[in-house]
Amino acid sequence: MLQEIGEQPAALEKTIAEEREKMRRVAQSVLRKDVDLIVLVARGSSDNAALFGRYLLEITTGIPVSLSAPSVHTLYNAKLNLRRALVIGVSQSGEGEDINRVLENARACGAFTIGITNEPASSMVKLVDETLLMRGGHERSVAATKTFTGQMMLFYMLAAALSKDSQSIDYEKIPEFTARALEQKPAIVELVQRYVFMENCVVVGRGLAYANAYEFALKLMETSYVVAERFSSADFLHGPVAMIERHFPVFLFAPPGVMLAGTKALIGRLRELKADTLAITADLDAASICTRSIIMPRDIDEFLAPIPYIIPAQLFAGLLAEAKGLDPDQPRSLSKVTRTL
């Protein structure tokens, strides 16, 4: 897991270089279809990448985006009107039976389908109209890291290709920002020692950082067996804040942008409740009112922050598992490919 976290800058660069031309062609096909709905279908970490994709695509293209409920297709056998829809399946292995069943059904219902996967010979590739590949090489760790960010990168590329302002997302800077985020590893090695006995926590993010909260929580659950709840900072104040008591651990993504003021207000409330807060942020004011912080480069803007900001979280989860005496590469009860319907 830790080795593959370190491979991400190179993997992202390779994905950009090798998928750029295909992305232009795929985007032209989508635009010719006059699509007025995008549906994303995924499970696990891929579903968290899709959650990010939903925010990014809606913001940049103006097209409504829905996250599919696979059981509508696989168990209820619903037939939907998808003649003007783009349906995108997201799967590291390309072998998720429910994801592939949704893609097959969606195509039969008239949708234009795209598969995002890491495996060019997978079953998914045979079912879709077009395939977009992550180019990070085979992922050995059960806990997805480089495939998660690879999926996010493909959503960046697709959003830029579909957007009327194709220059609005300068995603080619992301590999460098990701490399700089990896420099936090020595500090995180020290930081995790304070959380070795943590059993429960909350992870908070909002907007483009909302998916990061889901992914960080998932990594803590599957590698360190920590019960990690994840919330939007807005939803968190609508009830869950009641469970916060002295020293309760709360992890927050606080990148720059329109959500920062609200996140800082939440941090202030958590400080009043004497929670143990750790923020991943470039804002020194936010860091100063947290118990602890991981300081990110200040030149990473809101739209480019999600990938570099997840890197410290991935490192934290892998290093915490090691500190707990666990093997993050062999999480109990899990396998790399999960088959559900």
Number of independent structural domains in the chain: 2
Mean pLDDT, residues 231-240 taken together: 85
On whether residue 334 sits in a domain, the answer given is no
Residues 291 and 189 in one domain: yes
CATH number at residue 247: 3.40.50.10490
Residues 6+ apart with CB under 8 A from 190: none
pLDDT score of 131: 97
Residues 8 and 126 in one domain: yes
Looking up tokens 């297709």 gives 73
Q: Which of 139, 169, 199 is the last residue of a domain?
A: 169
Strand partners, 41: 89
pLDDT score of 336: 53
Distance in angstroms (rounded) separating the CA atoms of residues 334 and 341: 17
Residues 163 and 21 in one domain: yes
Q: Which domain holds residue 149?
A: 2-169
CB 290 within 8 A of CB 160: no
Q: Which of 145, 169, 193 is the last residue of a domain?
A: 169
Output the CA torsion sign for 87, 91, 94, 95. Answer: negative
**Tokens for 300?**
């990473």
On whether residue 254 sits in a domain, the answer given is yes
CB 283 within 8 A of CB 264: yes
Burial label for 34, CB within 10 Å (0-12, 13-18, 19+), is exposed
Looking up tokens 């590469």 gives 329
CB 1 within 8 A of CB 141: yes
pLDDT score of 254: 97
pLDDT score of 156: 97
On whether residue 211 sits in a domain, the answer given is yes
Does the pLDDT value for residue 135 go beyond 80?
Answer: yes
On whether residue 31 sits in a domain, the answer given is yes
Does the pLDDT value for residue 21 go beyond 60?
Answer: yes
pLDDT score of 340: 66
Residue 28's CB is within 10 A of a number of other CB atoms, namely 12
Residues 153 and 209 in one domain: no
Radius of gyration of the chain (CA): 19
Distances (CA, A) of 150 to 127, 270, 339: 21, 34, 22
Residues 191 and 151 in one domain: no
**For the chain, counts of helices (H) and of strands (E):** 14, 10
Residues 61 and 129 in one domain: yes
> With bands split at pLDDT 50, 70 and 90, how would you rate the model's confidence at 166?
low
